[in-house]
């Protein structure tokens, strides 16, 4: 039986620069470790710099003798603050004027009580989607400078229960934490695929991918306390402790779809990578089908317009300057 795609299949990444949001724990930390292990310079972007430095220390230890040579650095980024996103992007533009090769929109919050970001957005939609939309837009000029650059946006199987409630995106009229999470993860999927459509229309040498980690036992999946009923109601904390034995797979396995989306040279732009097991909850990383609504131009256009209006950030799809 084929072992499928594994981290051993990641190509040589020497000379490439990757930015990973939320790389200080769980799946994000594993993504940073594997990208660095294969030669990339990795910018670990997270809200808590000390936690980021702790993650770097763990990564260097995990890599053994090669850890001391790994190029991995921490930068402060709070996706719940458009000001922080702007400052982060401006700092990278000054530091890396030749561009970046890879952006992994990995960070996320899951199923908190209704809270708002610094800019007044519902926390999940504001962080998971709008923060990453703004970040990608701000970093787009740097990505355009590198032929073959790539953006990977991490969605979730929870996107299946998501619905874009354009009349109440921020849950001010009514808030259900898991439905809000599903909406934010559906928005991630729509954004990633729409971005590829716009890249293709502009004739740019870039790829935008979506990926999901299945159901993975990480600190993110245990972030919610009182779970609503429905699909994600299965993800109770005691059940997740069973880890790979039943539904949840390890963070190591959960990172593989994202790593494949980020590095597999044979994948077409606009691919959605998930797991090949039952319900896509676990298994080998493979191309899977997105939600049909994620391919709906009217919905995608509306989400883009709402995102630009909310963040004040748009993308430059004009010809790349020679």
Q: What is the C-alpha separation between 151 and 283, in angstroms, rounded?
A: 23
Entry field: residues in the chain: 322
Mean pLDDT within 292-298:
96
The string of pLDDT tens digits covering residues 141-166 is: 999 999 999 999 999 999 999 999 99
Q: What is the C-alpha separation between 57 and 53, in angstroms, rounded?
A: 6
Tell me whether residue 128 is in a domain: yes
Burial per residue of 234-270, b for 16 or more beta-carbon CB atoms within 10 angstroms, e otherwise: ebeeebbeeeeeebbbebebbbbbbbbbbbbeebebb
Tell me whether residue 2 is in a domain: no
The answer to whether the pTM exceeds 0.95 is: no
Contacts of 68 (CB under 8 A, 6+ apart): 60
pLDDT value, residue 322? 57
pLDDT value, residue 274? 97
Mean pLDDT within 64-76:
95
The string of pLDDT tens digits covering residues 269-291 is: 999 999 998 999 999 999 999 99
Structural domain boundaries, residue 22: 9-309
Tell me whether residue 146 is in a domain: yes
The string of pLDDT tens digits covering residues 102-117 is: 999 999 999 999 999 9
DSSP H or E run through 190: helix 177-202
Is 272 tagged catalytic?
A: no
Residue 12 has pLDDT above 60, yes or no: yes
Tell me whether residue 315 is in a domain: no
Tell me whether residue 322 is in a domain: no
Collapse the DSSP code of 25 into the 3-class scheme (helix H, G, I; strand E, B; otherwise coil) and give the result.
coil
Residue given tokens 């391919």 in the structure block: 295
Q: What is the C-alpha separation between 181 and 275, in angstroms, rounded?
A: 20
Cβ neighbours around 54 below 10 Å, total = 15
Number of structural domains found in the chain:
1
Tell me whether residue 99 is in a domain: yes
Tell me whether residue 4 is in a domain: no
Q: What is the C-alpha separation between 220 and 224, in angstroms, rounded?
A: 8
The string of pLDDT tens digits covering residues 187-244 is: 999 999 999 999 999 999 999 999 999 998 665 533 333 333 333 344 434 434 434 3
| Distance, CA of 86 to chain centre | 18
| Distance, CA of 83 to chain centre | 20
Tell me whether residue 125 is in a domain: yes
pLDDT value, residue 245? 43
pLDDT band of residue 118 (cuts 50, 70, 90) is very high
Q: What is the C-alpha separation between 88 and 45, in angstroms, rounded?
A: 9
Q: Return the half-sphere exposure (C-beta side, CA atoms, 13 A cut-off) of residue 224.
A: 26
CATH at 119: 3.40.50.720
pLDDT value, residue 318? 84
Q: What is the C-alpha separation between 28 and 108, in angstroms, rounded?
A: 10
At residue 86's C-alpha, the angle toward residues 83 and 89, to 5°, is 150
The string of pLDDT tens digits covering residues 87-97 is: 999 999 999 99
Collapse the DSSP code of 59 into the 3-class scheme (helix H, G, I; strand E, B; otherwise coil) and give the result.
helix
- The residue from 5, 140, 181, 304 that is catalytic is 181
Mean pLDDT within 253-270:
97
CB 212 within 8 A of CB 160: no
CA quadruple 48, 133, 15, 319: dihedral sign: negative
Contacts of 11 (CB under 8 A, 6+ apart): 38, 263, 265
Share above pLDDT 70 across residues of the chain, in percent, rounded to a whole number: 89
Mean of per-residue pLDDT scores for the chain = 91
């Amino acid at each position: 039986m084929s072992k499928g795609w594994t981290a051993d299949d990641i190509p040589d990444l020497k000379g490439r620069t990757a930015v990973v949001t939320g790389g200080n724990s769980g799946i994000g930390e594993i993504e940073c470790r594997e990208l660095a292990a294969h030669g990339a310079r990795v910018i670990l972007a997270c809200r808590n710099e000390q936690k980021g430095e702790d993650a770097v220390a763990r990564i260097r230890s995990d890599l053994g003798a090669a850890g001391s040579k790994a190029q991995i650095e921490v930068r402060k980024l709070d996706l719940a603050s458009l000001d922080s996103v702007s400052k982060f992007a401006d700092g990278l533009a000054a530091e890396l004027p030749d561009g970046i090769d890879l952006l992994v929109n990995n960070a996320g919050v899951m199923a908190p009580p209704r809270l708002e970001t610094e800019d007044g957005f519902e926390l999940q939609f504001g962080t998971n989607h709008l923060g990453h939309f703004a970040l990608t837009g701000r970093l787009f000029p740097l990505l355009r400078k590198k032929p073959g650059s790539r953006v990977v946006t991490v969605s979730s199987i929870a996107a299946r229960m998501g619905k874009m409630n354009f009349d109440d995106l921020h849950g001010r009229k009514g808030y259900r934490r898991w439905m809000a999470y599903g909406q934010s993860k559906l928005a991630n999927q729509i954004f990633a695929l729409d971005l590829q459509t716009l890249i293709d229309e502009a004739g740019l040498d870039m790829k935008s991918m979506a990926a999901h980690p299945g159901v993975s036992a990480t600190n993110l999946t245990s972030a919610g306390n009182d779970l609503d009923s429905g699909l994600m109601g299965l993800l109770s904390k005691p059940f997740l402790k069973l880890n790979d034995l039943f539904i949840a797979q390890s963070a190591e396995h959960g990172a593989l779809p994202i790593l494949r989306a980020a590095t597999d040279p044979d994948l077409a732009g606009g691919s959605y990578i998930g797991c090949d097991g039952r319900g896509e909850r676990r298994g080998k990383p493979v191309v899977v089908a997105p939600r049909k609504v994620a391919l709906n131009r009217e919905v995608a256009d509306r989400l883009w317009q709402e995102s630009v209006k909310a963040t004040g950030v748009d993308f430059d799809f004009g010809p790349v300057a020679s």
